[in-house]
Amino acid sequence: MTYHPKSDFIAVMMERGFLADCTDYQGLDEALMQGVRPGYIGFDATAKSLHVGSLIQIMMLRWLQKTGHKPITLMGGGTTKVGDPSFRADERPLLTPEQIDDNIAGIRKVFAAYLDYDSGAENAALMLNNAEWLDDLNYLDFLRDIGRHFSVNRMLSFESVKSRLDREQSLSFLEFNYMILQAYDFLELNRRYGCILQMGGSDQWGNIVNGIDLTRRVIDHEVYGLTSPLLTTSDGKKMGKSQTGAVWLNAEMLSPYEFWQFWRNTTDADVGRFLKLYTELPLDECERLGALAGSEINEAKIVLANEVTALLHGPEAAAAAEATAREVFEKGGVGDDLPTLTLSPDELGDGISVVQLIVRSGLAKSGKEAKRLIAEHGARLDDQPLTDAGLMIDAGALSSPIKLSAGKKRHALVQLG
């Protein structure tokens, strides 16, 4: 890709590794040179929090604002009722309107950490909900005015649909409508707010192109699409998953310490790339840190963990997480903000098995996994090897908090409340 951008936003996207594809580099670049331009990304409300897999999109919106433009976060209050079929093997479970509203309230908290919504500046961010225009659509009018612009033949050719049909997996008519509704969002945002850009992961390419075509056909406006690469770690895993499940962005679903640890445990080969994508450190510093080798790369991982955690949870949470980690790993002590399981005297009764504590503190998913951890010498109690899967912990043992460990990097406290 040899295009040399004039606009700060496209330059940042290209230099830092955010760009997979764009419908018209030059057209978008020139449009961004003509003042404050709005761009959006849609987020369906399928859970109470987004996870790390969405962080690349959130950073794109942040950079859009930092380079002088207006980010729009579009909550899918309407589209979540349908469910995006892109690259899924099955239909999403349908949520009630109340569940969707709850999820939107949870997701909203995260965006406040990354975007400025309240300054009153021309490029202040907007948070919108597509239920505003989708909930009251008249079906027959919508079919006649919007549906006629879509070719079923073309929709069947999109990779996200084709992959499902090729595997002979059912695609419901409900899901097939999703791409029409997402296209309609772009048209509405252009009409209402002058939005010229839709961004998303590269799996959204077909949906984005549909929105551009529809906007051109219905109101003859020039709009653009830009996608980011679908991130996998250097060992081929999908970004956003850890050994213990999804890496959530909301603090009540994943503690700042555990979030910090996720980044601290980054594979050496990914450090430089992740610094460019998930922090705002200058490029030359990202490259310098990413090139460190041996034990020095660990300090680069701490910088990465601190920077990413500070953006989401604040500098104090990042500093506390680092202090806890240093205490746990370097001094073998007990840190202040390790994940903590607090037992009531009733729960404890005459005693509770250490296997149960390992599961309840999140260090293993099942009793079977906890027993295997102990059998393979991967579990420790207060930094001493744990060898007895039948060990019972009573009130005497919990007169002060105990520390459980799974492997070298995962720890939890258990205390009596």
- How many CB atoms are located within 10 Å of the residue 115 CB? 21
182 annotated to a ligand binding site: yes
Give the integer Cα–Cα distance in Å for 282 and 187: 36
Q: Which two tokens stand for residue 223?
A: 């709009």
E-strand stretches of 17-149: 21-22, 38-43, 70-75, 126-129
| Angstrom distance (rounded) from CA 402 to CA 382 | 6
List beta partners, residue 411: 405
Closest CA to 114 of 167, 162, 66: 66
Q: Is 40 annotated as a binding residue?
A: yes
Residue 198, annotated as binding a ligand: no
Residue whose structure tokens are 């949470």: 317
User: Is 257 assigned to a binding site?
Assistant: no
Return the ∠ at Cα 345 (arms to 343 and 350), rounded to 5°: 105
Closest CA to 51 of 249, 278, 313: 249
CA quadruple 134, 138, 139, 145: dihedral sign: negative
Q: Look at the block and give the residue holding tokens 């790390």.
A: 52
Distance separating alpha carbons of residues 260 and 240, to the nearest angstrom = 13
The CA distances from residue 287 to 270, 271, 306, in Å, are 11, 9, 17
- Give start and end residues of each alpha helix (H) in 170-314: 173-176, 178-193, 205-219, 256-264, 271-278, 283-290, 296-313
Lateral strand order in the sheet of 197-201: 21-22, 224-228, 197-201, 38-43, 70-75, 126-129
Rounded Cα distance between 121 and 33, Å, is: 18
Angle (CA) 85-86-91 rounded to 5° is 25
Q: Which residues are annotated as a binding site for L-tyrosine?
A: 40, 178, 182
Q: Which residues are annotated as a binding site?
A: 40, 178, 182, 241
Q: Which residues are annotated as a binding site for ATP?
A: 241
